[in-house]
Structure 1
Amino acid sequence: MKSIHSSYDALIIGFGKGGKTLAAYLANQGWTVALVEQSPLMYGGTCINIACIPTKFLIHNAEMGVPYPESIGEKDQLIAALRQRNFNLVDQSPNATVITGKAAFVSPHQVSVRLADTAEEIRIEAERIFINTGASPLIPAIPGIGQSQRVFTSTTLIQETQLPNELVIIGGGYIALEFAGMYAQYGATVTILDRSTRFLPHEDRDMADAVRSVLLAQGIRIEQGASVDEIIPGHTGQDTVVYHTPEKEQQQIQASAILVATGRQPYTEGLNLSAAGVEQDAKGYIKVNELLQTNVPHIWAMGDVNGGPQFTYISLDDFRIIRSQFSNLDRHTLLDRGQVAFSLFISPPFSHVGLREHEAQTKGYRTQVATLPAASITRAQVLKETAGLLKCVVDADTNQILGCTLFCANSSELINLVQLAMRARFAYTVLRDTIYTHPSMSEGLNDLFGKLK
């Protein structure tokens, strides 16, 4: 174990994607760097340990028919290996030290750390400090939720080694749908209780309806406008979830596991930001400027804790923004980010970038819109994955692509191609007329954009 010094050039609090990448980069530039992470089970950050990687691994295994207990075991082995690799990425540098403990500001330049193994409290001073503490699940104030032994978050449910027979999911957002699809494929009976009266309310209705119909076909029950009133702990392997419908009718459903997927909140618990004078917004996110600086110029915030889109690749771009301030590279800021794609890993995956049709119309664009059933793509037929719908929205005056939504096999890869075309400001005709390999899902872009005039 490396010795811990009292002073460093840079202190990074949190082992997320942005933080670990920054730690390795600065150490390679000759800076002395301390990276503080409160748990040895979180080396590498949220994505590797409890989010993107384990969930996508479990989803893939579900699609391959691997039994749930076996999948959990394989997932644990994979995550342990990735965790060690990420620890080594930072700690093997002679200029970087990983400190496992809970950090709290004492002053703008000084942080106390309660070490995880000894509970000893040490103090570290740094010229520059970078906060990368992420976000955590938001637990709603539902009567009985604290007394139940069967309530889980997205973090804790994937640690269970036995498949729940009846899974009730409170929430109807992207995390809720991803878990619903995954557990249904493993064989659980899944019910979604969504407070919103509209399924995927931010999406265009044709795309939302396409997703809903596929989930229903997979046996997932979806209750819209369902407000949970109470969770009644049971003693026979099940809890009772009491909810009411938009018509105020009270309903009950039995659950062997309850997943709370009602949003996330910035994780700043115990950080004592006030001692550093760092400002937060009304929701608790750390305020930053376009360079990711807080109101205290030598303190930056990166990743989920700064209120930006909560994706690992955004945290990596946050690293790029900060790196450009300490290198000879061109200055990169939040103003450069532009449209960012995302993918929801249900089956098939749902991916989007840019404006949706209703958003483009609200902004006053004159649009051309085209849709294409996934079943019309030859590769989808070969893969026997014909469910889904593709959609594009184009500026009728400039031929620029305003947005694209792909609900089809391999959409998580295809959407990056569309995003690249948008960033390069290509006319939609470039995607329409490009020669793609055959048979491939990319060929669907020929047909989709070919439907425009």
Structure 2
Amino acid sequence: MYRPILRHPLKHHLIQTPTKPTKYDIIIIGSGQGGTPLARALADAKFKTALIEREHIGGCCVNEGCTPTKTMIASGRVAYLARRGWDFGRKRDIVRVFRAGSEKRLKDAGVDVLMGEASFVDAKTMVVVDGEGGERVVRGEKIVINTGCRPAGAVLEGLEKVGKERVLDSTSIMELGVVPEHLVVVGGGYIGVEFGQLFRRLGAKVTIVHRGGQLLPREDRELADLLGEILRKDGVKVLLETTPIRVVDVSDEGFDVMVSTKKGDEIVKGATHILFATGRVPNTERLNAAAAGVKLNNKGYVVTDDFLQTSVPFIYAIGDVKGPPAFTHISFDDYRVLKSSLLESEGSGSRLSITDRIVPYVVYTDPQFGHVGLHEHEAREKYPNKKILTAQMPMSYVARALETDESRGAMKAVIDGESGSILGFSCFGAEGGELMSVVQTAMIGNLPYQKLQDAVFAHPTFAESLNNLWGFLK
């Protein structure tokens, strides 16, 4: 027996209502971005749940809104960039503009700029030798050492037989007028992987020779291995646990490189250029620091305290010359710290220090590799008695990554399991540096991970993945 016939307001067909309806604890009408996860959560909690959807599971966002439109916009951007090809290849122009801007700001501020190389005569006196051999003596009541670092020298047996134009470092490789036919990169750290991928994409055959068991030795192994997989898929040959021994068979066309591997000696054939990306050294050997009483460590870096003061009270050091981490943003923070000390007497505010500052960085591979804070192994070493939890999620779980076809990589967080404090975060993925910066902001504010888990982020963005990452904590 049936009750009266009802007319469906949209489909205009007849619906018969049975006298004995199916009973549910909860009925949800519509499977949009709220209804679908709500239904799943209720069902997981053992509620008998029904979801009624008239057309498409996923609602407007998945079917007519965010997902299709943003996917098409991403395709449009690729087409736009292809048409703008001639706008790129402007490295020297950008450098020239930035340099000129810095020079103008110094001049406008009234700074005397003396071009030349400086060395100490005593703690307050320096001699500056210009490019033509002219000397000028200057004296300062306070002195700041900011001489930076340079690429470590290339050392390999037989290298003297290779023309200087074929032996490269991270500076000279950017001045090449041609793309190498076969670039051998010695070193699989940050500089090595960036240039290795870059020149592969420019058309070179690339071989990375790295003595360690993983690329990016400081990073978590699983993320570093993902980078290795991506480089290999891009066509880069990656040789791990491999050390170059000597250059052999040098000719006008190129040379071979003999390397030592776990299986014995092998030959990397047909190299035309070789890039040494094996670290940097401080520019202190001509500073004559001893004449001023400034202490250097055994690697030549200037030793400072947390206020950037050297062993001489009125001499300071900032930037790379004082040792790792060697990042531009650390140098800029050193400026802020030292400014607070030098201008303290003029009422500029409280004195800052470099104690416990949170250090972020980004490796500009594609996808990017952003990191802030502690890695898992560092957290476990630093806090042996804490309950350390980690959460790792593939970028293929991020809607924005799928819409832009940039789903390679993964992100990983390290958490204090008792307090919920975020100890470290890595994102190897599209816009990894930007996503890392969101987590860094939370760390600066001492926010526990739950605040990110429950935050309302715009959709579709990479940042909204920080709602879901914590579901992988273990």
Partner SS, residue 163 of structure 1: coil
Report what 1:276 is aligned to: 292
Shift of 1:441: 0.5
Report what 2:62 is aligned to: none
Give TM-score, length-normalised by structure 2: 0.78
Partner SS, residue 127 of structure 1: coil
Partner SS, residue 309 of structure 1: coil
Report what 1:406 is aligned to: 427
Shift of 1:376: 1.5
Report what 1:130 is aligned to: 144
Which among 106, 109, 123 is matched to residue 108 of structure 1?
123
Give TM-score, length-normalised by structure 1: 0.81
Structure 2 stretches of 5 or more lacking a match? 1-77
2:161/2:250 contact within 8 Å kept: no
1:82 and 2:121 matched: no
Report what 1:216 is aligned to: 232
Report what 1:52 is aligned to: none
Which among 350, 353, 362 is matched to residue 369 of structure 2?
350
For 1:360-397, what per-residue CA distance to the aligned partner results, in whole angstroms no more than 9, with x for missing partners? 23332312222111112111112111111111121111
Shift of 1:88: 1.0
Bigger drift between 356-365 and 314-323 goes to: 356-365
Residue identity matched to 1:137: P
Q: Which has the higher contact order (CA 8 A, sep 6+)?
A: 1
Which among 352, 358, 379 is matched to residue 332 of structure 1?
352
1:260 and 2:276 matched: yes
Partner SS, residue 370 of structure 1: strand
Which among 112, 121, 139 is matched to residue 97 of structure 1?
112
Shift of 1:197: 2.7
Shift of 1:226: 1.2
For 1:75-102, what per-residue CA distance to the aligned partner results, in whole angstroms no more than 9, with x for missing partners? 11111111111111112223x1111111
Q: Identity of paired residues, percent?
A: 34
For 1:154-203, what per-residue CA distance to the aligned partner results, in whole angstroms no more than 9, with x for missing partners? 00001112111211100111110111111111111111000113333332
Residue identity matched to 2:365: I
Structure showing greater radius of gyration is 2
Shift of 1:308: 3.2
Distance in 1 between residues matched to 2:109 and 2:378, nearest whole Å: 47
Report what 2:258 is aligned to: 242
Distance in 1 between residues matched to 2:217 and 2:280, nearest whole Å: 18
Aligned residues: 388
Bigger drift between 351-360 and 198-207 goes to: 198-207
Partner SS, residue 154 of structure 1: coil
Which among 384, 394, 400 is matched to residue 379 of structure 1?
400
Partner SS, residue 97 of structure 1: coil
**Would the alpha carbon gap of residues 269 and 361 (structure 1) be closer, same or farther in structure 2, given more than 3 Å must change?**
closer
- What value does the CA root-mean-square deviation take over the aligned residues? 2.2
**Would the alpha carbon gap of residues 308 and 197 (structure 1) be closer, same or farther in structure 2, given more than 3 Å must change?**
closer
Report what 1:12 is aligned to: none
1:144/1:232 contact within 8 Å kept: yes
1:139 and 2:139 matched: no
Shift of 1:290: 1.1
Which among 183, 204, 218 is matched to residue 202 of structure 1?
218
Bigger drift between 326-335 and 295-304 goes to: 326-335
**Would the alpha carbon gap of residues 69 and 303 (structure 1) be closer, same or farther in structure 2, given more than 3 Å must change?**
farther
Residue identity matched to 2:243: S
Distance in 2 between residues matched to 1:191 and 1:122, nearest whole Å: 47
Shift of 1:410: 0.7
Shift of 1:252: 3.1
Which among 308, 326, 338 is matched to residue 324 of structure 2?
308
